[in-house]
Amino acid sequence: MNNRFNKSMTGAALAMAIGMATPVLASQSADAYPADCPAIFHHTMKQLHSNKMLNLCDVTDGKPVLLVNTASHCGFTDQFGDLEALHKKYKDRGLVVLGVSSDSFNQEADDEAEAADVCYKNFGVTFTMLSTVPVKGDEAHPLFQEVARQDQFPRWNFYKFLISADGKVESSNSSFRMPDEDIIEQLLVTESE
């Protein structure tokens, strides 16, 4: 490794120069998030195949969330269509569908452009998709660490977690099941009262 780095390099530039991956989450102080935003969403993450950083408090906007970890080479990728249908059905009533790309089960494309093509072009996804992060174990992104603290880590791709507007994991669904729409309806009714 060449030790002659320009002293003005940023940490990310230095990491890229020595071949390390660039972090996909930005550190922000706790006061960067609204006081009424649940701590589970106190994260800023990169949008899939974009340079845009998204504040999850802004994305969730005090609404119930359907959080799902995705992978473009998984046998369950056709669920992108089912998730998009839920998004279209419930978005105007307040449900936020939030997809998070992950290679924790070794089934995500190495190229983020390919992962984006699978969800956006192949399945017409319009809900928010975030860049690839680990979703299980010690390396899991803090969002999924909190999900696991309340419930469990995803056991495979396309695990689905319904999270109330106040940040409580209300239910989890395996890769084989879509969330029960009665639970979604109950969350939406509760949030509108």
Cβ count within 10 A of residue 63: 18
Give the C-alpha separation, 153 to 87, whole Å: 23
74 in catalytic set: yes
Place of tokens 């249908």: 85
Give the C-alpha separation, 147 to 160, whole Å: 11
Backbone angles phi, psi at 156, to 5 degrees: -165, 180
Residue by residue, DSSP assigns 44-97 as EEEBTTSS-EEEHHHHHTTS-EEEEEE-TTSTTTTHHHHHHHHHHHHGGGT-EE
Instruction: Give 19's DSSP letter.
Output: T
3-state secondary structure of 182: helix
Task: Report which of 56, 78, 172 is spatially closest to residue 125, judged by C-alpha positions.
Answer: 78
Which is catalytic among the residues 37, 57, 74, 119?
A: 74
Catalytic positions are 74
